[in-house]
Amino acid sequence: MLRITNLEEIQSLLLRIQYLVDLQERRDSDFVHEVKEWLSKLEKVLDNNRMPVAGNVAALRGLLISAERGVIPAGVEFHGRSTKRKILDAAAAYVLRQTGDLISSVIQKDHERVAEAERLSRQLVAIAKAKGLLLERPTGDNFTDMLTAFWRTLSADPELSSGTVNVEGLIGPNDALIILDRTITSDTPME
How many domains is the chain partitioned into structurally?
A: 2
Shared-domain flag, residues 104 and 129? no
Q: Determine the residue type at 96.
A: L
pTM of the model: 0.86
27 and 95 share one domain: yes
Sign of the C-alpha dihedral, residues 113, 115, 117, 119?
negative
Of 74, 90, 109, the residue that ends a domain is 109
Going residue by residue through the chain, which has 191 residues, state the pLDDT in tens, using 9 for 90 and above: 899 999 999 999 999 999 999 999 999 999 999 999 999 999 999 999 999 999 999 999 999 999 999 888 887 776 778 888 888 999 999 999 999 999 999 999 999 999 999 999 999 999 998 988 875 454 456 778 888 889 999 999 999 999 999 999 999 999 999 999 999 887 655 44
Same domain, 100 and 17: yes
Domain shared by 13 and 94, yes or no? yes
CA 98 to chain centre: 17
Domain of 161 in residue numbering reads as 113-187
